[in-house]
Amino acid sequence: MRDSTVARNYAEALFELGEKHGTHEDLAGGLNTLAQVLESDASVRHFLITPKIELQQKQKALRAALGDQVSPMLLNFVLVVLNKRRQALLREIAVEYGELLDTKQNRVHAKVTLAHEPDAATETKIATELSRILGKTVVPHITVNPEILGGIVVRYGDHIMDGSLKRRLVGLRQRLIETAMPSEA
């Protein structure tokens, strides 16, 4: 079975627990924190993945490190993942869980590119307008790229909405090139 399928299965199992107990936000927050630690700290990642360290040592360390930081339900889940030797998939499980939660909450993450750094009011307006257009709650992840000159480029899922000034100027240039020049009479 592919790792992405396994990670999805674990995420779905945890999601069902979250549904049953109404703890989605706690579980998502704890999973994201754990995933960030694994992403940023190679020594923690290596400790969990290496077969040289006994399972009991890993369990003891996780209980000590996570005991007061995450819910008991999430700690038990992580220990089950560890028992099944799937700890290398914890980051992917966190991503899959986030996607399941986004679907449930009718939420979409969009990469928004602007030519200049926006102020807070502009960010709010972008989120509001995109939510209205897409019919979902949009969480914008804004980046700045001066090369687009002006306007906005929005990417979500497999879709791109390119309202950049650069694209418009390229389109205008192309239409001018294709337009036949009137011949002099």
Task: Tell me the pLDDT of the chain averaged across its residues.
Answer: 90
Q: What is the pTM of this model?
A: 0.77
Q: Which residue segments constitute the domains of the chain, with CATH numbers given?
A: 3-103 (1.10.520.20), 108-178 (no CATH)
Q: Mention every residue, 6+ apart, whose C-beta is less than 8 A from residue 61.
A: 47
% residues pLDDT > 90 (the chain): 59
Residue 148's closest CA among 105, 107, 113?
113
Distances (CA, A) of 147 to 108, 116, 121, 142: 26, 10, 23, 15
pLDDT band at 91 (very low <50, low <70, confident <90, very high): very high
pLDDT for residue 176: 86
Q: What is the tens place of the pLDDT at every residue in 55-82? A: 999 899 888 888 788 889 999 999 999 9
For the segment 138-148, the average pLDDT, to the nearest whole number, is 94
Q: What is the tens place of the pLDDT at every residue in 1-52? A: 788 899 999 999 999 999 999 999 899 989 988 888 888 888 888 988 888 9
Long-range contacts of 98-103 (CB under 8 A, 24+ apart): 98/28, 98/31, 98/32, 99/11, 100/11, 100/12, 100/15, 101/15, 101/18, 101/24, 101/28
CA 144/CA 123 separation, integer angstroms? 12
